[in-house]
Chain A
């Protein structure tokens, strides 16, 4: 009954410290910083000026190009300035900084919590609404949702998979969302099914969330075509390709997309955001963020407005512990350490983890002993030791032949390496170089 993907995978300690902590709504901060690029694709263009009064839910930056989304004001108040700030990526980018005044929303937004199950919009209207409301994949990749909901010409889709795996240790924001807003998530799934014109949806949930599995199985009886698929606990099951293999047995070809095997995967967070956008006309201006760590006094799941400083989240969780050595944005496996905590929460921030310095420091790098642990851990069937060395030595052609671009950067290889080699660091460098070179070749 419990399914999983066959190749590779690891079992890091789960550490789901906040699984039983109900989501707490964090008060609106005094000032928010909203970066104009919170998604994959072209940054949005700011359409408000300094001193302008904005309402919560109002568009403050418009999508530029096809792969891009709108950015909405998460609060009401006055635009203090438009400046360059450091965001969670560690790089500087343009952001709209808003001084908060009250909490006035755009009148078209329905802020009631009543469940709205009747879907009145047509397929095209749903996709247009997702575009207008600035929806992106909430799992962390932040790919604009409206593009994923548009089936490209020549391709067909017969199944939707809702990703409730949350295989990253520590993170529990999706888990809490499924428990607390399960009906909304499933309604969102139904909307996604309608947008794609499919009859079947599977919600994949790992076995370490039995309460979510039973809760959603119960609820799914009232939703046509939706089933819940319990999955064995294994990292990186939340990866699109692994989840598709686990749920349907289909294998996405190398270099292909899920749509090539007739599947579209959406995160539960995205399904909830789709529900809010379509049924309540509410743009994506808030999200659930897990704040956790072994020495955090009050770890929890917090519903925050986009643009809230990470420091406010850490305060809410009882302040930064004295022994903190690393603050990670996202999960411990794929997340990225923050250079400074004065950065805003963006659409893709799933968790803020505070690790003690002792646990966070990387160990001394030793030579590769050819044990092959990384190869057996790789869920994509690659040879991490080889491609990392090829990348280190700048042998890009060879790295391309070894399918370096198939790597999804899950970090399982680095996790298992007994010599503590920074495999993923080099693979990431090689991957970006190979992709860039391939692009240059095309444009030539």
Chain B
């Protein structure tokens, strides 16, 4: 009886050894050499797989980072400077200073401002509404209000305001991954430079119509009068297709343009309620 047991053990040992030898050689033959730094970089990334960097996920971005020679055009908007600093440490490279950004909804077409001319009761999707017609207001550029951007946000940084019927972005949660920008069929949402105390000055309108029709459709539409362009001391405002645009990287938040706008299309957010002296423009934070 004991010989059967011994024989079994011996047989299994021999088989196991044989398998181990085969597996060893196979593993040598089909070995995939991977840069160990990819794993390290992947560890350092946030792991949200949001695609904000332009790659399919954090792993793909880590591979791209390791493969690249400089950080030119590579940035993790979620992790920001912190994460990129860590990555730079792993890869032993110089980190590039990157401005943090925040998403901004450039439409103020609330029911009060833009009168509703029709009622949409199709499928609740901006893309579908956009493919069907101009929208529930007279403005064919503004927010459709079905919330595709809110669905696209992976960081819980957006919600639809039931009163204004517009999406709201929570600045403290927004990581500027750009998912909402891609989801919006009307390109209303824009990534802008994040300023100190989340202060913002922007033209809250994307209507490219001439002044008359734009104003008729919405009380707070940009009518393309050009007053703000003239008053801006930093050449931050440009006028194209009857629409003013404030470059957030040139804007020094001096707020000279805000009172100039006849339709109140330029919004200032995050500033103290009391008017400050115009002599001290708030200096932009460079981080």
Chain A residues in the interface with B (C-beta under 8 A): 86, 89-92, 336-337, 339-340, 361-362, 365, 392, 422, 425-426, 428-429, 432
Contact = CB atoms under 8 A, between A and B. Distances in A.
A89 B130 CA distance: 12
Contacts of B134: 86, 90-92, 339
B132 interface: yes
B248 to A, nearest CB: 30
Interface in B131-149: 131-136, 140
Given A90-B134, A91-B140, A339-B133, 15 more contacts: A92-B134, A336-B132, A339-B118, A339-B136, A340-B117, A340-B118, A362-B121, A422-B123, A422-B128, A425-B125, A426-B123, A426-B125, A426-B128, A428-B131, A432-B131
Nearest to A433: B127
A429 B122 contact: no
24 contacts: A86-B134, A91-B134, A91-B140, A92-B134, A336-B133, A337-B118, A339-B118, A339-B133, A339-B134, A339-B135, A340-B118, A361-B121, A362-B121, A365-B123, A392-B125, A422-B122, A425-B123, A426-B123, A426-B125, A428-B128, A429-B127, A429-B128, A429-B131, A432-B131
Contacts of A86: 134
Interface in B104-123: 117-118, 121-123
B147 to A, nearest CB: 14
Interface of B: 117-118, 121-123, 125, 127-128, 131-136, 140
Contacts of B123: 365, 422, 425-426
Given A90-B134, A91-B134, A91-B140, A339 B117 contact: yes
> Would you call the interface of chain B mostly helix, strand, loop, or mixed?
loop
A99 B132 CA distance: 30
Nearest to A90: B133
Nearest to A340: B117
B140 A425 contact: no
Contacts of B131: 428-429, 432
Contacts of A428: 128, 131
A249 B127 CA distance: 39
Contacts of A90: 132-134
A392 B146 CA distance: 14
A425 B117 contact: no
Nearest to A363: B121
Given A92-B140, A339-B134, A425 B118 contact: no
A238 B125 CA distance: 30
Nearest to B132: A90
B121 A425 contact: no
Contacts of A425: 122-123, 125, 128
A89 B132 CA distance: 8
A429 B125 contact: yes
A382 to B, nearest CB: 18
A343 to B, nearest CB: 11
Contacts of B132: 90, 336
Nearest to A88: B133
B237 to A, nearest CB: 26
Contacts of A361: 121
A340 B137 CA distance: 10
B247 to A, nearest CB: 28
A249 B16 CA distance: 68
Contacts of A422: 122-123, 128
A273 B191 CA distance: 53
A353 to B, nearest CB: 16
A249 B118 CA distance: 44
A335 to B, nearest CB: 12
A362 B119 CA distance: 11
Nearest to B137: A339
Contacts of B121: 361-362
A340 B135 CA distance: 11
